[in-house]
Amino acid sequence: MSAVVRYEFDHAYVARLAAGDSETERHFTRYFGELLSIKLRSRLRSAALVEDAKQETFLRVLTVIRTRGGLASAGSLGAFVNSVCNNILFEIYRAEFKQRQSISEEEPEVAEPGASVESAMLGEEEQRQVRRAVEALPTKDQTLLRWVFFDERNKDDICRDLGIDRQYLRVLLYRARDRFREEFLKIGSVSGPATH
C-alpha cells in the first residue's frame, strides 16, 4: 500500500468544505478515508463497523465545519478528524461493553452457529484490554468515565457531586478520555495485532 502524502489544509480548503464544494469534499473523504481505514482496521474486528465509524466521523466533522463558528483553525483539521474518530471508537467500545454485560445478565452466552473460537477469543481479549486500560487510570478518571459512559448519570448531578461547572466537567472528561486512549493504545501495542 502506498504511503499517504501529507496534505496541508488552509482556510480556503475549509471554506470550500463548509460551502459544500463537491470536489473538495471528494478529496477530504478520499484523503482521510485511507488514514481512518488504517487506524480503524487495527481497532475494530468488523469491516462493517470500520465503514460505519468512518462515515460517522465524516458526518460529524462536516457538521461542525458547516455550523456557525465552525473549525477554529484550518491547520487543526487533521487533529480534529482524529479526535472525532477517537470519540466514536470510545462510543463503540462502550456500546459493545454494555451489550455484553446485558447479555451475560440475561442468559448464559451461547456461541452462534458457525462462530469461530478465534472470534470469541478476540472479543474477550478486547474486553480485557479495555478493562486493563480503565484500571490503569487514576481513580478519579475511572469514576468519572464510569459515571458518564457506563452509568449514564445526569451531567448536572455529576457537577453537583464534584462541585464543578459543566465547562470544567468537559475539561475533566476530555483529559480522562485522552488518558484512557493512551493506556488502551499502549496495551494494544504490547499485545500486538491479532492475526487471522
How far is Cα 37 from Cα 178, in angstroms, rounded to an integer?
Answer: 21
Which residues are CB-neighbours of 63 under 8 A, at least 6 positions away? none
How far is Cα 140 from Cα 163, in angstroms, rounded to an integer?
Answer: 14
Q: Is 97:127 a contact under the CB 8 Å cutoff?
A: yes
Q: What is the pLDDT along the chain (196 residues), one digit of tens a residue?
A: 455 567 888 999 999 999 989 999 999 999 999 999 998 988 887 888 889 899 999 998 998 888 877 787 888 898 899 889 988 888 888 877 776 666 555 544 444 444 444 444 445 666 677 778 888 888 888 888 888 877 778 888 888 888 888 888 888 888 888 888 888 777 765 554 444 3
Write out the residue range of the structural domain in which residue 29 sits: 1-110
Does residue 48 fall inside a structural domain? yes
How far is Cα 22 from Cα 116, in angstroms, rounded to an integer?
Answer: 43
Q: How many domains does the chain have?
A: 1
Say which CATH number the domain at 50 has. 1.10.1740
